[in-house]
Copies of this chain bind each other. A is one copy, B any other.
Amino acid sequence: MATSTFRVNVLLKEGVLDVQGKAIESSLPELGVSSISNVRVGKLIEFSFDHEGSSLTDEEQTKLTKVCHELFSNPVIESYTLTEVK
């Protein structure tokens, strides 16, 4: 049994209005910053995952995909990337 740490980056899909990003952009001039644009705000989720061997089985991979789809993100408006944290 091994435990790995994974990170999921969740961002709104292109074309979906990013209200938090716009709010940050509108605050930047107050800090005297004009060189930042295209601000997008998403979620970052880190977790430990117990698995059998050194690499993931198909079943374990399916379980991770299911959790990313059904719990961590809303696939209608969000996209995610799952990466192992070394």
Contacts and interface: CB of A to CB of B under 8 A. Distances in A.
Interface of A: 5, 9-11, 21, 24, 27-28, 31, 33, 35-51, 60, 63, 66-67, 70-72
Nearest to A6: B36
Contacts of A5: 38
A45 to B, nearest CB: 5
A33 to B, nearest CB: 6
B24 A71 contact: yes
A41 B44 contact: yes
B40 A47 contact: yes
A50 B28 contact: no
A58 to B, nearest CB: 15
